[in-house]
Amino acid sequence: MPTILTHVPVSDGTPNRTALEALTRARQIAGENGWTCAASVFAPDATAAAETLGRYGAQTVYAVSDDAFAQPLGGLVVDALATVIREAAPEIVVMPSTEGMKDALGGLAQRLGAPALPDVVAFSASGTAVEATRPVMAAKFRATVTAEKPADAPVLVSVRAGSYTAEESAVTPEVIRVALATDPASLKASLREVIASASGGVDLADATVVVAAGRGVRDESGKALVDELAEVTGAAIGASRAVVEMGLFPPEAQIGQTGKVVAPDLYFAVGISGAIQHVAGMTGSRTIVAINKDPDAPIFDVATYGVVGDLHQVLPPLIAALREAKGQ
């Protein structure tokens, strides 16, 4: 039976949320076309994730277990994906548009001779063609792109965070263990050091509430207010490029065209002007609150609720009111 394969990155045993959103979409496409919905997972113990993937509808799970996947280099991910794809012979391969997958996508596309549709917000299959919608021009426009499946390769699609909603539909997956064809030690690149995220383990793209800071936050006293707002709302902390450049927030917090794309239920933009390159990474958010002292700041054009004012005046009573509402 034809197959649609979703690759699900896991970190510390937890499947990436965007990948589960993509898997949900893949399951719909499998249902519409009478295809098998399959998933692949690479981890030190990949079979441990199989049950979760079954919960999201993966009928077949290709599991590649190797300790190297605790912190894999891109070359290894390309090799493992190419091996699984040769075995599963899918029509379409879907993956989340994370930095980890962006690292592998080009190499994989070239190795397989597969057309790639990167960073899409929607995709569908009809016959052997895949059609997708992707933001372009710093997300000011959307392009519809198509690719025809080659005879001996799939079409590759990577999906932006928040494009679909992850929904469970449990099956008991058949787990197929696939051996890694490459000795990780044979890769030419070598990992010298990992500089762990300063923001703890929460991947911004997985958060349901984000508090994002911009240049208006300026210093430690502004940052303390942002931290407090994040704490009371249970949010992950994001940042504009300007404050990452200043060193006030860590680079993995950057949201936007160069940074991450996020689509939480609630997004606070604090002291952010709303440059198109920042907005490109956050307009998928359901509710947006903007706090900015400039009434003409473009961030207000995308805000659900806009508060004009100095963040030092606006945030303390807001934090207090949120605490009260949450009974904290």
Ligand X SMILES: Cc1cc2nc3c(=O)[nH]c(=O)nc-3n(C[C@H](O)[C@H](O)[C@H](O)COP(=O)(O)OP(=O)(O)OC[C@H]3O[C@@H](n4cnc5c(N)ncnc54)[C@H](O)[C@@H]3O)c2cc1C
| Residues of span 265-294 touching another protein by CB under 8 A | 265-266, 276-277, 283, 286-289
Q: How far apart are CA 116 and CA 301, in angstroms?
A: 33
Least separation in angstroms between CB 34 and another protein: 26
Token representation of residue 20: 């589960």
Residues 55-94, one symbol each (x = binds another protein by CB under 8 A, - = not), give ----------------x-xxx--x----------------
Is 271 a binding residue for ligand X by CB under 6 A? The answer is: yes
Q: Residue 14 interacts with another protein (CB under 8 A)?
A: no
Cα separation, 147 vs 1, in Å, equals 21
Size of the site for another protein (CB under 8 A): 97
What DSSP character marks residue 225? H
Count CA atoms within 13 Å of residue 291 on its CB side.
25
When binding is defined by CB under 6 A, the residue of 6, 60, 273, 285 that contacts ligand X is 273
Nearest distance from C-beta of residue 304 to ligand X, angstroms: 18
Binding-site string for another protein from residue 139 to residue 178, where x marks contact by CB under 8 A and - marks none: xxxxxxxxxx-x----------------------------
What minimum distance in Å lies between the beta carbon of 299 and ligand X?
7
Among 242, 263, 289, 303, binds ligand X (CB under 6 A): 242
Q: Crossing angle for the helix pair 311-325 and 220-233, nearest 10 degrees?
A: 20
Cα 2 vs. chain centroid, distance in angstroms?
27
Any idea which residue has 């198109």 for tokens?
276
For the CB of residue 222, give the shortest distance to another protein in the complex, in Å: 16
- What is the CB neighbour count within 10 angstroms for residue 167? 14
DSSP 275-303: -HHHHTTTTT-SEEEEEES-TT-GGGGT-
**What is the C-alpha to C-alpha distance for residues 305 and 308, in angstroms, rounded to an integer?**
10
The Cα 275–Cα 272 span in angstroms is 8
Cα dist. 21→32, 35, 196, 280 in Å? 17, 18, 26, 20
Closest to ligand X by CB, 40 vs 254, is 254
Tokens representing 263 are: 């689509």
Report in angstroms how near the CB of residue 67 gets to ligand X at its nearest: 33
Binds ligand X by CB under 6 A, chosen from 74, 256, 264, 306: 256
Which of 111, 257, 302, 319 forms a contact with ligand X (CB under 6 A)? 257
Query: Segment 217-256, which members bind another protein (CB under 8 A)?
Result: 233, 241, 244-245, 251-252, 254
> Which is closer to another protein, CB of 28 or CB of 197?
197
- Nearest approach, Cβ of 302 to ligand X (angstroms)? 13
Among the listed residues 179, 185, 193, 296, the single contact to another protein using CB under 8 A: 193
71 lies in the binding site for ligand X (CB under 6 A):
no
Q: How far apart are CA 99 and CA 8, in angstroms?
A: 13
Angstrom distance (rounded) from CA 109 to CA 117: 10
